[in-house]
Chain A
Amino acid sequence: MLDFVSKFTKQELKYYKLNNKYFLANSELEKNKLDQKEQFFGLFLGEDIDGEFKPAFGLLDWLSKHSNEKVFVKDIGEMDFLYGKPLRSRHILRVEGETKVGFLKLIQNEHDENLGYGKIVGDFTKTEQVIKPKLDRGVFLKREKKTNF
């Protein structure tokens, strides 16, 4: 997980690991635990699946406050991104931080709310695909369909 975090910020992140899941360390919350083993603890940061770290939106929100590796998108870009579509330069309001191909960026709407993250795949000054989505909040729809409650 820390490897993923280091791509966005040098800020220290204290975490608590529960099986393959990572949560934000929280000493106050810790005091409230029951005797039994918990399943989920406070802010969920992500999990290791088949040896690969998969970030959660708790981590992306945390990173949004501690990193300037951000791409801000217009309304139309917001909808496209949430539907898993790549971002084009016309979707972009502004870019903060690195602009080189291959770098990971947090994707923010105009209210600076995190929509997910993606990878730079093109030149922001040209009309072409610039961000390939890696994870977007549209995933909640898929998960809700699966759990169906």
Chain B
Amino acid sequence: MSALTDRYKEMGGEIKFIKPRRCIRVNTSKISAEALKARLEKKNVELEQVPFLKNAFYVKSKFNLVSSPEYLLGLFYIQDAASQIPVEVLNPKSLTLDMCAAPGSKTTQLCERVPVIAVDSNKDRIKALENNLERLGFDNCIVYLLDSREIKKKFDSILLDAPCSGNYILEEGWLKMNNLKRIQERSYLQMELISKAISLLNNDGVLVYSTCSLEPEEDEFVIQFALDNFPVKLEKVNSIGDDGLTKIFGKKLDPTMKFCKRLWPSKTNTIGFFVARLRKC
């Protein structure tokens, strides 16, 4: 048992080691969901539509899908269902900034809808992003090797999938390796990034903030910081998951925090996740 374990009950969740269902996202810029389904079924892959996502399937396959021609041709991306939610929630209509873009699961998901400015400060991860853009065949993304805090241009929609401590489903031994100090350090960086993101939003623009952390310090507390310090309001996230916490560890948070969603692996069969949608007013 780690120091973190006891906190989960108070948050309404529990530690339960599940294996999230393997999920793919169809690259609809190359193929329709129906056509891909038919092609993969011909190869004896079992596909089941993810009920809360438009172009995603849970998959079961006797062979490694990564070695299939369909994967190599960029017809799909292997991406956990929870991780596909932020782009659905952002639902952008114009040029979008992806602030922490690499390795590119959400960037390529955005590219199916709108042109994208993708920024990341990690050179190795940027290579993975470029590789994914090439494999999926997108022509509408500009990539910058840059700390997103250096950006000046303004946007109507921004995705901030913030660097986070992760969660116990993603990494073996996560509970032992992590502690409150590390989580707090991440939280400070996330507050810095969300401040920057809001400063880059046009009035009435939308920011989606997400993490794959289940720790309130990286989720609700960051959103509370934004609500307390900037002209933003929360909008309802229509997705699966529990409502955001409005009271935790003796702290009372903004009542609209319930508009956020937190995904507990034991309840959603996904990785742990948190999503918030903010509008600048």
- State the A residues within 8 Å of B (CB): 24, 26, 28-29, 32-44, 56-58, 61, 78-79, 82, 109, 113, 115, 137-138, 140-141, 143-144, 147, 149
* B133-166 to A contact mask, C-beta < 8 Å, 1/0: 1110111111111100011110000000000000
Q: Does B198 make an interface contact (CB < 8 A)? A: no
A42 and B135 contact, CB distance less than 8 A: no
Alpha-carbon distance between A29 and B140 when the two chains are bound, in angstroms? 7
Q: Which of A34, A42, A57, A144 contacts B66 (CB 8 A)?
A: A144
**Size bin of chain B's contact surface:** 35 or more
Alpha-carbon distance between A115 and B71 when the two chains are bound, in angstroms? 11
Alpha-carbon distance between A79 and B138 when the two chains are bound, in angstroms? 24
Contacts of B45 in A (CB 8 A): none
Which residue on B lies nearest to A26, using beta carbons? B139
Q: Assuming the A-B contacts A44-B130, A61-B137, are A36 and B73 also in contact, with contact meaning beta carbons closer than 8 angstroms in the complex?
A: no
Majority secondary structure, B binding face:
mixed
Give the segment of B121-129, B185-193, B205-213, B268-276 that binds chain A: B121-129
A78 and B143 contact, CB distance less than 8 A: no
Q: Assuming the A-B contacts A32-B95, A32-B117, A140-B72, are A41 and B142 also in contact, with contact meaning beta carbons closer than 8 angstroms in the complex?
A: yes
A42 and B117 contact, CB distance less than 8 A: no
A57 and B134 contact, CB distance less than 8 A: yes
Q: Assuming the A-B contacts A39-B144, A149-B103, are A78 and B69 also in contact, with contact meaning beta carbons closer than 8 angstroms in the complex?
A: yes
B69 and A44 contact, CB distance less than 8 A: no
Q: How many Cβ-Cβ contacts under 8 Å join chain A to chain B? A: 100
- State the B residues within 8 Å of A (CB): 66-67, 69, 72-73, 95, 102-103, 115, 117, 124-131, 133-135, 137-146, 150-153
Q: 16 new A-B pairs (CB below 8 Å) besides A115-B69, A140-B135, A147-B128?
A: A24-B139, A29-B139, A32-B95, A34-B146, A34-B153, A38-B144, A39-B126, A40-B126, A40-B133, A41-B142, A43-B137, A44-B134, A115-B72, A143-B131, A147-B124, A149-B124
24 contacts between A and B (CB under 8 A): A32-B95, A34-B117, A34-B142, A36-B144, A39-B143, A40-B130, A40-B142, A41-B142, A42-B138, A42-B141, A42-B142, A78-B69, A82-B72, A137-B72, A137-B135, A140-B131, A141-B66, A144-B66, A144-B128, A147-B103, A147-B127, A147-B128, A147-B131, A149-B103
Q: Assuming the A-B contacts A29-B115, A35-B153, A149-B128, are A44 and B145 also in contact, with contact meaning beta carbons closer than 8 angstroms in the complex?
A: no
Interface centre among A78, A109, A144 (most CB of B within 10 A): A144
Shortest C-beta distance, A62 to chain B (Å), equals 9
Which residue on A lies nearest to B71, using beta carbons? A140
A144 and B141 contact, CB distance less than 8 A: no
Q: Which of B126, B128, B133, B144 contacts A34 (CB 8 A)?
A: B144
Interface centre among A32, A58, A79, A138 (most CB of B within 10 A): A32
Alpha-carbon distance between A78 and B125 when the two chains are bound, in angstroms? 30
A137 and B73 contact, CB distance less than 8 A: yes
Interface centre among A113, A115, A141, A144 (most CB of B within 10 A): A113
Contacts of B73 in A (CB 8 A): 109, 113, 115, 137
